[in-house]
Amino acid sequence: MVRFFRMSMLTLTAGLTLSAQYQLNLEATAWNTRLNDVRKPSVGGTTFSFPELLGSGPTWAYRLDARWQVNERHGLRVLLAPFEVSGTGVFASPVTYQGCVFRAGEPTRGLYRFNSWRATWHYTLLENEAWTVRLGATAKIRDAKVLLEQDAMVTSNSNQGFVPLVHLYTERRFSPGWSAVFETDALGAKQGRAIDAALLVRWQATARVHADLGYRLLEGGADNDEIYTWARLDGWRVGVGMRF
């Protein structure tokens, strides 16, 4: 397996010197939905709130990332970050979504999905006993879906798309075995913005295994002629990682 990863990295890095260090990280976050408003079409639809329909959480979600430190300066990361919440509630007033009118006060099933698949290249700007600072670029594939169902009426909207993001990783080491980490993928434009940021405390239990505890924020959305959607989620997260 290690040989397979090394051969893959040689291909992906197109000649970069391979002195790789591999790392797997698993994270669990208890998400609270602070804001999740949707309207489609943007003109003529009704803005509705998923927290008002389904509750604000917490909703547990997990993410997995694999990292390869290719050489002293260059590294790669692949991140799988699924998120989905569903349930049944009632609207306080009628909602028009994609031409369908959902009545107030009647059981309505809702589903909100926002999966994020990412690949990151980063460059180490600083590496010493106290600090690690890395800057890079992330290619994100967004896999989103909104579904509403009331009696026999069902309508949904799925959206897949590419989003470029700026990646930043900063680690400050303190006493032996302890450090503070800030990591984010983020970018803003006139079409909308996306922010995924975490601040955490890390304990290096052994040379290969670490555990961390912290806070993660996820925010973003779009406002155009077709759709309006805006979400902000946050929550405490725990993680474990292993180098090999």
Do 55 and 87 touch, CB atoms closer than 8 A?
yes
Domain 2-11+18-243 has CATH 3.30.1330.10: no
Interval 211-221 mean pLDDT: 96
Looking at the DSSP assignment, which residues form a beta bridge with residue 32? Answer: 234
Cα 75 to Cα 165: distance, rounded to the nearest angstrom: 16
The pair of three-digit structure tokens given for residue 107, joined into one six-digit string: 């059981």
Q: State pLDDT tens for residues 190-201.
A: 777 899 999 999
Q: Is the predicted pLDDT of residue 92 greater than 60, yes or no? A: yes
- Can you give the pLDDT at residue 11? 41
**DSSP alpha helices (H): ranges in 65-130?**
none
Cα 128 to Cα 181: distance, rounded to the nearest angstrom: 15
* 33 φ/ψ angles, rounded to the nearest 5 degrees: -90, 105
165 versus 7: the higher-pLDDT residue is: 165
User: Of 192, 165, 196, nearest to 61 (Cα)?
Assistant: 196
- Can you give the pLDDT at residue 75? 97
Q: State pLDDT tens for residues 142-192.
A: 999 999 999 999 999 998 989 999 999 999 999 889 999 999 999 987 777
pLDDT tier for residue 42 given thresholds of 50, 70 and 90: confident
Cα 134 to Cα 120: distance, rounded to the nearest angstrom: 11
Do 221 and 193 touch, CB atoms closer than 8 A?
yes
CA angle 228–232–235, rounded 5-degree value: 160
Q: State pLDDT tens for residues 63-90.
A: 999 999 999 999 999 999 999 999 999 9
Interval 96-125 mean pLDDT: 96
- Can you give the pLDDT at residue 233? 97
- Please report, rounded to a whole number, the percentage of residues in the chain having pLDDT higher than 70: 91
- pTM of the model as a whole: 0.86
